[in-house]
Structure 1
Amino acid sequence: MKSTYTNSRKTLCALAVSAAIFGPVTASAQEEQEALDSAGLERIEVTARKTVENLQEVPVAVTSIGSEELATNGIEVLTEVQQFSPNTTLQRSRGTNSTITAFIRGVGQQDPLWGYEPGVGIYVDDVYIARPQGAVLDLLDVERIEVLRGPQGTLYGKNTIGGAIKYVTKEMSGDAELNIQGTIGSYSQADIKATGQLPVIDDMLYLGFGIASLQRDGFGEYLQVDPQLGDQDKENYNKDVVAGRLTLEFRPSDDLFFRLNYDKTEDESNSKGGYRLLPSILTDAPVPDSVYDSYTSLPTWNKVELEGYSLTANWDISATSSLKYTFADRESYSPTNIDFDNTPLRIFDVPAIYDDEQTTHELQFNNIGDNHKFVAGLYYYDAESCGQFEAILEVLGNALGAPGLTREVSGCSNGTSKAAYAQLTYDLTEQFSVTAGGRYTKDEKDAIVNNGLVFATVYPESGWIDGYVRPEGDLVPTVLDDSDDWSKFTPRLGVEYQATDDMMFFASFAQGFKSGTFNPRAQTAEPAADPENVDSYEVGMKAEWLNNALRTNVTLFSLDHKDRQYISVLPGADSTQLNQRLGNIGSSEAEGVEAEISWQATQDLRFDLALGYIDSDFSEVIDTDLEGNTFDKSDRFTISNTPEYTFNFAANYTLVTGLGDFVFNGNYYYRDDYVLFEEDSLLTQDGYGIVNLSVNWFSNEGSWYAGLHVKNLTDEEYLIGGYQFVTPDPSDPGNTDLYTPGLGGDNTLIGYYGDPQTISLTVGYNF
């Protein structure tokens, strides 16, 4: 079985170094020249347009990171891919290790509550993952990750107004294979992965599997835990994940292919405690010394359970046409504990439950002719997204003379989506081609929201804490029970010019939309918010130079983001009220450039550069005050999670020796400053850079391999999430040390941070 790294090209430089260390090697001048002439970048295949194409022929801004590059860089989870893709943010969300925050070109969705729709679509083997819970995927048996930037509304549908992330797993080779890999590292990291396949019927039926146990102690700890909870696991930012996958592939003939997948993930990592950026005024808990330390009055346990299966059937009707059907059913269940105030008192605690299920069907037809490429399909999506959370404000309730105070919110947002799409690329001449496509989508959604105050301390379920029994009956009233529907046509138009065999120019217009939705925190029977819309324009060039040794892919873009859905937080009659109203109140604009450059300097030395620049701003934010007067507050808004600059420079060098191939690589990744909240953000992360270094070894016979990886070498501290429930003191608004306490009566300004410096060693064997 071949190893995970393949290098069949050996330069004279590598041979000379090998000879100096391990013995004499001869090479003629002709061999040297042949080696240098053969230096070139590998062909990269992507499925951005739902058919396999050369990256350089696809008029879409797309980054593709293959399995070898992921392995040699020690990339373990999906969020680490952000450093390779310009103008891309993929972060773990606040309060959890498994929920993703995804933004591309300033478009995404920060709030992971049920009912809200994402702005960046995530796909696993063409199966749409509707909810952000559990979407921080650990990489297991992956073939490549594709990042499609810009609206993908024609081929991928709603909720891809920022772009799409595609996780593509490996197809089976048909041979008996087994790979076992173990990793040890900082903070007692201990991972083991096993993947393999077995031919049940030669050249016809194959069974594949993958299983992983991923364990790590916390980067910090809970310094104080409410003593009423008893013994608690005090690890903070730890990892406890078990994941598995089974695949059955059936090829009854050369024209037919079937794949049945089943996967399950259980994440029992602790709830992630935040770092208090301000000292509490209600407790004696000081600001911790470490940004990874915290306090809590909630149980520290957390859980994310994911399970799903899918069926793919492909029929090659002819040499030019194929028909593909994909069915998937997925479920997720996540009880979680998020302590907003991060103190040992119940000042602002939010235990919650997320419960989701989705079913999708897609029928797709592809045809490739001498002068055209055509894809068309039908899509159906049915989802139930339910949840419940308790905003426990016990200290405030006690101050009001009550035994406690809880705002309970629960409900469901269920919907269906039906779509038909088609896209044609037609060659007008040998150099000019045009692309035209469109998608018609019909969404239907119904929602129910229960919301009200309970003057007691209430948890979602009995047994949430030892001895707790939830009161029976409906504790709060139903405030919203409604349905709505929307339809949308999203076109794509483009023109491509193949100037030479190695250079293509393209220009395109694309439109996308994010589905309308009801406010899952509604306190009255408010109407649904309409869909968001994005119009995007792109001009780009994809070129290869120096006998394919240099690749330069550059895209200029401009987008208009209209009808942005936003929650307005309105003041209430007293501090027990938290009025949140959802509406289409904002519009924003952005323009920028993305450049991805690769240079194969020699057969064994490669440099990669990814540069993103974006100038984005809110152009209008119209809101209504309690008296019904409208006003523009765009001067208080900033595009969140969107640095003006992102930059990644990477180098990769292969040294061929008698002991095997050594691959050295490193990269410097820079993110400019960014805010974490759109409105009046008090949390801003200054620009920072991260250095990662790796050395990998692959045995000559292709069985053994190992990798030593150092991430965040300089131990940078950087914010990836937070909560703000304070406001600057109106008596001295310029003083950033003076704040007015928010809901709960405390200075709740909380930060969550990215991973510190880690070192890991991976060793694997291919049987």
Structure 2
Amino acid sequence: MNRYVKTALLAGAAWSALSTFAMAQDAAPQEGASSLDDVVVTARRREESLQDVPVAVTAVSAETLANRGSADITELARSTPSLTLNSARGSNSTLISFIRGVGQQDPLWGFDPGVGLYIDDVYVARPQAAVLDIFDVERIEVLRGPQGTLYGRNTIGGAIKYVTRRIGDEPLISMRGSYGSYDQFDAVASIAGPVTENFGVSASVARYLRDGFGTNRNTGTEHYNKDVTAARISAEWTPTDSLFFRLAADYVKDGSNARHGHREFTPIPANEYDTFAGAGDKNEVETRGISLTGEWEANDWLTLKSITAYRDGTTRGNIDFDNQAAPILDIPAEYDDDQFSQEFQALMEGDRWSGVAGVFFLDATASGAFDTVVGLANLTTLTSGSVDTKSWSAFGDFSYDLTEQLSVSVGGRFTHDEKTGTVFRQQYLGIRSPHFGNAAAVPLGVPRTNYTDTKEFEEFTPRVSVSYEMTQDLTAYASWGRGFKSGGFDMRGDAVLYPNTVNGYEPETVETIELGLKGRLFDNFTFATAVFDSSYEDQQITTQYPAGATVASVVDNVGSSSIRGWEFEGQFRVTDNLVLHGMLSYIDAEFDEFLAYIPTGPLNTTCPTLVGCFVDVSAQRDFQNTPEWTGSISGTYTHNFSDGSHLNFTPSAAYRGAYQQFETAAPLLDQESYWMYDASAVWTSASDRWTVALNGKNLSDERYKTGGYNFPGAITGNSIIAFYGAPRTYTFTVGVKF
């Protein structure tokens, strides 16, 4: 069906629903219905009611996360429309995120994510250690669609905002301990409160331990275990009524064993979490961050804000791609990164207008090295390099109320990026290169890749929206926005197999038209729904394939695609004691053009040369990590006891449609549709001092794939491996506050 016909049908359905809802709103409210509190978000860098924001936003409070028993941010994908969040293939704590079909699966240094992650307004440039465990949190916001104006740094798919708790006026000490399946043991302790009238401090530390879901049958060690330490500290100072400062720091260390996946090609271990890997089990990820935020309320209409931050991280680990004892296809690797960012904002508000303007600067370096060990050929390919990024941008977004019901917002961002890439690729005779401990390895010829280059990229990303308040509780909006993700250099590029790799790749852009409706009906039903149509241009796609006795990589701007869809989420208070939550999303994503590189001569009649060329294979490609349908339903029932305590019971069911791991179908790796069932029971004492919780996850013990590698062929040992989500688990938690 033609793209525009599909979009018209979706828009027609949405506006038909709009009319129905509008008429329903005029009806008399139900007697005894409870009013739902307004949700306040900062999706536009200023506090606003969720109903008034012309952006598709899901906001999840700390209370809701606790009722669901959410352990880390990847669980948001079970209840948020059009969202995919997973640990990266071969990783325990590296985040892979997609929103509305747009993201980046490859966490290699130098590749930018397509969904921006923010911790208290600080942009996190690298995905390592970004699978954030949930503690010391106030709320999490998921912004869907390109956020190229206010969150312009690589947010073409959207943005995820992790907002931590501010320090309150009263001292608070809280502790919680958990024990669960696979000898899970978690401990979290926090202390916060004022030291003087205008100065307060807080500190939180968390320790997460769990045995593995499986075993490395070659070494006997745990596989899919967890060994994480995390901490956050902050200090807040309010010297005057108009000045506020916050100094915050965070630390994460992941010492979980290397995750090698499960071999899908024979021989197959019976347990999906077992492996025969012989590459080694050592793995360590460590990240640190510090930020200083200052706010000055200059007058009644102007507030100035500064956000200064520094982060760095290291990763040391390996993945056994063949999942066998011999080094048939092993990848030891190391990553290092650091970033400094500075942002200045001016937040303004008048009688009929409001807005924010500012500038942003980022200076970041990402570097690393890895070996591609092909044991059957006694050959190792070392790949190493770095990417230095200097980026600055200026942005603004302003809203004006034309009437009491109609408002218009206009924004834009200009971004300038300068990237310097260094790529080195050398083959050696021997198992592992000198960089990874084999001093006897012999260089095989001259380096296959050895260059340093600098490229500059500039883009203006505007956004326009119109909001109309149909009634006091019902708002419709229409928006058009553009997102931009910077170009760069392929760190795996082999200049012998693909000479154009030295030229790097260009930026990609997304333009999205969105129609939305959000609000409240009958004082007990809140909802948000939207239809969208996105045009995705110059999409950056990584293709890896066996090439002789090594693995080759091509990163190119393959062409264009069209993405359109529909999203709905709502909350219905059935009684004072029962609240239902639900979401449903549909995505129709297709490539309009996909120019694949054919590296070995005339494999296609449209490719007459013997040195490789590009062929449009859009008819044979589909989006990765983008199920057509996702949905969920849950309910929270509250039982109040006579002593003043209460029990919240929250069962849930989440559906995820079939999806591919890569743009090219891989039958052994692609995931069929499945359901996920969870349930949580949380008892809270009358004084709110004690909590006792029992959480069950994946109660049907579904086995579902979250990632994979696909390297068929004799020389690579038919290395087709999959990584799986967690099996059925139970967790018992006790918490106390002082």
Q: Same fold (TM over 0.5)?
A: yes
> Which residue does the alignment assign to 1:22?
none
Structure 2 residue 629 is the aligned partner of structure 1 residue 654: no
C-alpha distance in 2, partners of 1:217/1:134? 19
Is 1:362 paired with 2:362? no
How many Å separate the matches in 2 of 1:472 and 1:182?
A: 53
Matched, 1:342 2:323: yes
* Post-superposition CA distance 1:619-649 (Å, at most 9, x none): 1112343425442111221100011000010
Task: Indicate the residue corresponding to 1:634 in structure 2.
Answer: 618
Cα distance per residue 1:25-47 (max 9 Å; x no partner):
xxxxxxxxx99736122211110
State the partner residue of 1:600.
573
**What is residue 3 of structure 2 aligned with on the other side?**
none
What is the DSSP-based 3-state SS (H/G/I as helix, E as strand, rest coil) of the residue aligned with 1:675? coil
2:387 corresponds in structure 1 to 413
1:565: how far off?
1.2
Contact residue 514 and residue 532 of structure 1 kept, 8 A: yes
Q: Displacement of 1:395 after TM fit? A: 2.0
Measured after TM superposition, the shift of residue 658 of structure 1 is: 2.3
Q: C-alpha displacement at 1:680, in angstroms?
A: 3.7
The answer as to 2:79 corresponding to 1:84 is: yes
Residue 721 of structure 2 aligns to which amino acid in structure 1?
Answer: I
Specify whether residues 470 and 396 from structure 1 end up closer, same or farther in structure 2 by C-alpha distance, changes over 3 A only: closer
Structure 1 position 224, deviation (Å): 1.4
Match of 1:221 among 215, 229, 232: 215
Mapped to 1, the partners of 2:736 and 2:555 lie a distance apart of: 53
How far did 1:158 drift?
2.8
Q: Choose which of 226, 237, 248 in structure 2 pairs with 1:261.
A: 248
The equivalent of 1:532 in structure 2 is 508
2:537 aligned with 1:557: no
Contact 1:479 1:522 in 2 (8 A): no
2:730 aligns with 759
Residue in 2 that maps onto 1:716: 702
In 2, the alpha carbon distance for the partners of 1:688 and 1:751 equals 17
Asked if the contact 2:265–2:720 (Cα under 8 Å) also holds between the matched residues in 1, the reply is yes
Structure 2 CA distance for aligned equivalents of residues 579 and 703 of structure 1:
58
Show the 5 A alignment for 1:679-698. 679-682=664-667, 683-698=669-684
Q: Which residue of 1 aligns with 2:262?
A: 275
1:671 correspondence with 2:656:
yes
Matched, 1:545 2:521: yes
- Cα deviation for residue 441 of structure 1 reads 0.2
Q: Does 1:443 align with 2:417?
A: yes
- DSSP-derived class of the 1:76 partner: coil
Contact 2:426 2:443 in 1 (8 A): no
Instruction: Confirm or deny: 8 A CA contact 1:454 1:476 kept in the other structure.
Output: no
TM-score, structure 1 length as denominator? 0.88
Which one is further off, 183-192 or 468-477?
468-477
Query: How far, CA to CA, are the matches of 1:429 and 1:35 in structure 2?
Result: 30
Q: How far is the alpha carbon of 1:156 from its aligned partner? A: 0.4
For the residue of structure 1 that corresponds to 2:76, the secondary structure is helix
Q: State the Cα distance separating 1:55 from its structure 2 match.
A: 0.6
> Which of 485, 492, 504 is the aligned partner of 2:475?
504
Q: Does 1:586 pair with 2:559?
A: yes
- What amino acid does structure 2 have at the position aligned with 1:442? H
**Cα contact 1:452–1:523 (8 A) shared by 2:** no
CA contact (8 A) 1:408 1:476 kept: no
SS in 2 for 1:578: strand
For the residue of structure 2 that corresponds to 1:81, the secondary structure is helix
Q: Of 564, 576, 598, which aligns to 2:549? A: 576
Report the Cα distance in structure 1 between the residues aligned to 2:144 and 2:711, rounded to whole angstroms.
Answer: 33
Q: Deviation string for 1:540-588 (max 9, x for gaps)?
A: 10121112x111211000101110112345775xx22433232211311
RMSD: 1.8
Are positions 1:567 and 2:542 aligned together?
A: yes
Residue matched to 1:16? none
Distance 1:357 1:470 in 2: 32
Change (3 A) 1:236 1:297: same
Aligned residue in 2 for 1:139: 134
2:203 alignment partner in structure 1:
209
Measure, in 1, the Cα distance between the counterparts of 2:81 and 2:477: 19
Secondary structure of 2:279's partner? coil
Contact 1:245–1:264 under 8 Å retained in 2: yes
Structure-to-structure mapping, 1:111-260, within 5 angstroms: 111-202=106-197, 204-225=198-219, 234-260=221-247
Query: What's the CA shift string for 1:175-223, capped at 9, x where partnerless?
Result: 2110010000000001000011132212x11110000010000000101
Partner SS for 2:66: helix
In structure 2, the residue matched to 1:14 is: none
The SS at the match of 1:56 is helix
Residue 530 of structure 2: SS of its match in structure 1? strand
SS in 1 for 2:539: strand
Q: Residue 458 of structure 1: CA displacement? A: 1.8
> Given the alignment of the two structures, is residue 301 of structure 1 paired with residue 282 of structure 2, yes or no?
yes
AA aligned to 1:704 is: W
SS at match of 2:503: coil
Structure 1 distance, partners of 2:434, 2:163, is 37
Q: Give the direction of change, closer, same or farther, for the CA distance of 1:666–1:417 in structure 2 (3 Å limit).
A: same
- Cα distance in 1 between the residues matched to 2:52 and 2:443: 61
User: How many angstroms apart in 2 are the aligned matches of 1:460 and 1:591?
Assistant: 49
How far is the alpha carbon of 1:761 from its aligned partner?
A: 0.7
Match of 2:362 among 358, 378, 381: 381
Shift of 1:469: 5.5
Aligned residue identity for 2:203:
F
Task: Label 1:607 to 1:221 Cα distance change in 2 as closer, same or farther (>3 A).
Answer: same
| CA deviations over 1:332-368 (Å, ceiling 9, x no partner) | 1000111111100100000000100001000001111
Equivalents in 2 of 1:475, 1:40: separation in Å?
Answer: 74
Deviation at 1:100, TM superposition (A): 1.1
The corresponding residue for 1:43 is 38
Q: 1:84 to 1:327 in 2, by over 3 A?
A: same
Report the secondary structure of 1:37's partner residue: coil
C-alpha change, 1:180 and 1:152, in structure 2 (3 Å) is same
- Deviation readout 1:238-259 (Å, 9 max, x if unpaired): 0000111110110101111100
**TM-score in terms of structure 2 length:** 0.91
**Contact 2:428 / 2:441 at 8 angstroms: preserved in 1?**
no
Q: Deviations over 1:426-447 (max 9, x none)?
A: 1111111111100000000000
Residue 473 (structure 1) shift: 10
Q: 1:602 Cα shift?
A: 1.2
User: Shift in Å at residue 666 of structure 1?
Assistant: 1.0
Distance 1:443 1:372 in 2: 32
Q: Which among 52, 56, 62 is matched to residue 57 of structure 1?
A: 52
| Counterpart selection for 1:333 from 289, 294, 314 | 314
SS of the equivalent of 2:107 reads coil
Q: Secondary structure at the match of 1:596?
A: strand
Give the letter aligned to residue 710 of structure 1: G
Separation in 2, partners of 1:473, 1:624: 28
| Preserved contact between residue 479 and residue 523 of structure 1 (Cα < 8 Å) | no
Q: Distance in 1 between matches of 2:336 and 2:695?
A: 37
- Cα distance in 2 for partners of 1:472, 1:171 equals 57
Q: Give the CA deviation at 1:670.
A: 0.4
